[in-house]
Amino acid sequence: MSLSSRRISGIAACCLGLCLSVAVTPAQAQKSTPRAHYMRHCVGCHLPDGTGFPPEVPNLGKGFSFLVDSPEGRNFITRVPGVTGVPLSADETAELLNWMVEKFYPAGARYAEFTADDVLQGRQQPLYDPITYRRRLFPEYEG
């Protein structure tokens, strides 16, 4: 007894649908942490330890505080392509930025947390050439 190709296709489609439905459940999607978002969206350029590829991709541990401590630097951070183009909500992006500051900023330092409003404002004015902009705005910054 052989199965028709139509029946085999139907069974395969059902199996594929079942596999896709359990691959990422809504509960799992909600468990995404800022660290997981960093590993998914930032680590390709900034590397797991935040060292990046200075001066083009800043070392988050070396020079991040310079950017976080000034209004111009905070504005710059919220406008870079990795922030304006990341497929996360503004709240998730703000959480990610705050996690990055906590992870790479000097221990015990105080800073103003990024907010969803900060992220939304940055997304309205994305930087298309952040390296040139950063060099002009912060000539002493070496990354």
Report pLDDT digits (tens) over 25-60.
444 445 689 999 999 999 999 999 999 998 888 888
Q: Is residue 104 pLDDT above 80, yes or no?
A: yes
Q: Indicate the pLDDT class of residue 11, thresholds 50, 70 and 90.
A: very low
Predicted confidence at residue 33, as pLDDT, reads: 95
Q: In whole angstroms, what is the distance from residue 81 CA to residue 77 CA?
A: 9
What are phi and psi for residue 129, nearest 5 degrees? -140, 70
Q: Exposed/middle/buried for 8, CB within 10 Å: 0-12, 13-18, 19+? A: exposed
pTM passes above 0.85:
no
Q: What is the mean pLDDT of residues 12-24?
A: 38
What's the mean pLDDT when you consider all of the chain? Answer: 80
Residue 13, pLDDT score: 36
pLDDT of residue 24: 42
pLDDT for 119 beyond 90: yes
